[in-house]
Chain A
Amino acid sequence: MPSAPVRVILPGMLRDLVGGVAEIEVESPSDSQTVAELLDRAFSEHRVLDGKVRDERGQIRRHVKVFVNGEDATRGEGVAAPVPAGARVHIINAVSGG
C-alpha cells in the first residue's frame, strides 16, 4: 500500500518563482525519508527553489527554517532529520534582517 504523500508548503516569497505554486505534494517512497531526500524530490521540477532553500553543500540556508509537522528540523538534525509519510513540511523565511 503506498504511503501518504508529504505536503511541502512554500513561503509567499518563493511562490512567485514557480508560477504561484503554494504547495508541492511529494510521494513518500516508504514510511520515512530525510529532509534532504524530500527536498530533492520536491525541487526536481522546480529547480530554481533548490538554490534558494539550500546552499551548494546541501545545507539549509542560515535564515531559512524547515518545520516538519511543526518541529523546527533546522534546530535538530537538519537535512538528515526524518520526515514521516503524510507529514506537513513548511519552508519559512526566518524572522531576521534589518
Chain B
Amino acid sequence: MTETVVAIGTRKGLWIARSTDRREWALEGPHFLMSEVASVAVDTREGRSTVLAGVKSWHWGPTVQVSSDGGRTWTESAERALSFPSDTDTALERVWQLTPDPNDADVVWAGVEPHALFRSTDRGENYELVRGLWDHPHRPSWEPGFGGGAVHTIVPEPGEPEHLLVAMSAGGVYRSEDGGQTWAASNPGIRAYFMPDNEYPDHGQCVHKVARGQADGALYAQNHKGVYRSDDNGRTWDSIAEGLPTDFGFTILAHPRRPGVVWNVPVQDDGERIPPGAQLQVQRSDDGGAHWRMQADGLPADSYTCVLRDAASLDEADPVGVYLGTRNGDVFASVDEGESFTRIATQLPDVLVVRAAQLA
C-alpha cells in the first residue's frame, strides 16, 4: 500500500507524518531531538524508501543521517560523511540542501554552508566537494544572507546529466553544463534592488528558491523581492510578480505534471516577515505566473508566522498534495492542490524544511 510521508525538519529535530489516504495522519518523532534539521530528501528512485537528513547538533556539529526504511531508523557514516578537504582550511557549518539526481540513481547533491556544493556517488552516504564551484573566482564576493551563506538550492535537469543549476544567498544563480566542472553566473533579468549603483549585476542577487516545472521545464524563482520565470533553463529571467500581493517570500513550488501551475507563499515585506494582511496563504498561478489567485481555505488569519525557503513541498500524487510548515511549528496539508488545507502537526519547533513523497 502506498504511504505518503511528510518529513518535517525543525530547529530541534525531525518529525515524520505518515498517511495511507492523506487524510488521517500519524505523526512520528522526534528523531535527533535538539538537533537542527535544515535539509531532508526523500529518495524514491528505483523504488527506494531512503530518507536523507542534514542534521546539526549545536554541540557535536553537522552530519548527514541516512534512513533506508522511510525514516524509521537512522545511521551515519563512522567517518565524516561530508567534510571539506584539508587544503580548503574550511569547516562545514550546515547542510542546507540534499537533492537526488534524476539522471543517476546513485548521485545525490548537497548544498552547504559556507557556499559550496558536494556530490555523492553512493546514494547520499559520503560526499566530495565540487571543486569547480569552490574555485570559482566569484566566491570571495558571495555574501551570507541573514540565515547564513550557503548553496541552498540545487536544480538538476532531467535528461541532461551534465546540466545543473544552483542558487545561493547572496550570490545568485549559477549554471554548469559540464557536470559541475565549470560554472557561470546566470542572472540576466533578476533585479538586485539593494545594490546602490547597478540593480542588474552579473551576480550577487539574493535568490531564495528555484523550482522546476517538470512538465515543460520552466524554472520559477522566488527572490528577495522579485518572482521570476525562465523558459531557457535559467539563462534569462522575466518577472512574474505582477498580480501577487507582494514580491517578497522564500519558497516557490512547481507542479510535477501540469505545465504552468506554480505556487508561492507571499511574505508581506523583507522588513515585515508575516503573511500579507496577516492571512497565511499560498498564491497559485495556472498560467506560468501571468495571473495569480489566493488559496487560503483552512489556513489561519491573524497569523504572524512565516514559511521559510524549504518549508514547503509537493508530493506526486494525483491530485498533488501541497504542504507548508511554519516558523511557529504548524504543518498544513492540502490534498486538492491548494484549494483547502488541514493542519497535520502543531506545536513543533520552528519548521525549516518539509519534504513530501509517496513510498511504495
Contacts of A1-57 to chain B: CB distance below 8 A:
13-14, 47-48, 50-53, 55-57
Q: CB distance A56 to B60 under 8 Å?
A: no
Interface membership of B146, Cβ < 8 A: no
Q: Are B78 and A47 in contact (CB under 8 A)?
A: yes
Is the interface on chain B under 10, 10 to 19, 20 to 34, or 35 or more residues? Answer: 10 to 19
Q: Contact at A55–B60, with CB atoms within 8 Å?
A: no
Q: Which of A13, A51, A97 sits near B61, CB closer than 8 Å?
A: A51
Within 8 A of A (CB), among B46-96: 57-61, 63, 76, 78-80, 83-84, 86, 89-92
Q: Which residues of chain A in 51-84 are interfacial with respect to chain B, using CB atoms and an 8 Å cutoff? A: 51-53, 55-57, 59, 61, 63-64
Known A-B contacts A56-B84, A56-B92; the reply to A13 vs B76 at CB < 8 A is no
Partner of B80, one of A56, A59, A94: A56
| Cα–Cα, bound, A97→B89 (Å) | 26
| CB neighbors of A among B302-346 (8 A) | none
Number of interface residues of A (CB under 8 A): 19
Q: What mask results when residues 80 to 96 of chain A are scored 1 for a CB within 8 Å of chain B, else 0?
A: 00000000000001101
Contact call B59/A61, Cβ cutoff below 8 A: yes
A-B CB contacts (within 8 Å), total count? 49
Tell which of A53, A56, A64 has the most Cβ of chain B within 10 Å: A56
Min CB distance, B92 to chain A, in Å? 7
Q: Is the CB of B58 within 8 A of A64?
A: no
CB distance B58 to A56 under 8 Å?
no
Q: Is the interface of B mostly helix, strand, loop or mixed?
A: loop
Contact of A64 among B59, B83, B89, B91 (CB under 8 A): B59
- What is the CA–CA distance of A50 and B83 in the complex, to the nearest angstrom? 12
Set of chain B residues within 8 Å of A57, measured between Cβ atoms: 86, 89-91
> How far apart sit A59 and B84, CA to CA, in the bound complex (Å)?
13
Contact of B59 with A48 in the complex, beta carbons under 8 Å: no
Q: How far is the CB of A1 from chain B (nearest CB, A)?
A: 35
**In the complex, are the beta carbons of A64 and B86 less than 8 A apart?**
no
B60 touches A52 (CB 8 A): yes
Binary contact track B79-118/A, C-beta < 8 Å → 1, others 0? 1100110100111100000000000000000000000000
- Please tell me if the beta carbons of B60 and A64 are within 8 angstroms of each other in the complex: yes
- CB <8 Å contact, A56 and B83: yes
Q: What residues of A have a CB within 8 angstroms of the CB of B90 in the complex?
A: 56-57
Q: Which of B63, B80, B90 has the most CB of A within 10 A?
A: B80
| Most B-side CB within 10 Å, residue of A14, A52, A59 | A52
The minimal Cβ–Cβ distance linking B11 to chain A, given in whole angstroms, is 9
* Contact indicator A94/B59 (Cβ below 8 Å): yes
Residues of A participating in the B interface, judged by any CB pair closer than 8 Å = 13-14, 47-48, 50-53, 55-57, 59, 61, 63-64, 93-94, 96-97
Task: Sample 23 A-B pairs with CB under 8 A, ordered by A number.
Answer: A47-B79, A48-B76, A50-B80, A51-B60, A51-B61, A51-B79, A51-B80, A51-B83, A52-B57, A52-B59, A52-B60, A53-B60, A55-B91, A56-B80, A56-B90, A56-B91, A59-B91, A61-B61, A64-B60, A96-B58, A96-B59, A97-B34, A97-B58
Top 6 nearest A-B pairs (CB, nearest first) are: A55-B91, A52-B60, A56-B83, A93-B59, A47-B78, A51-B80
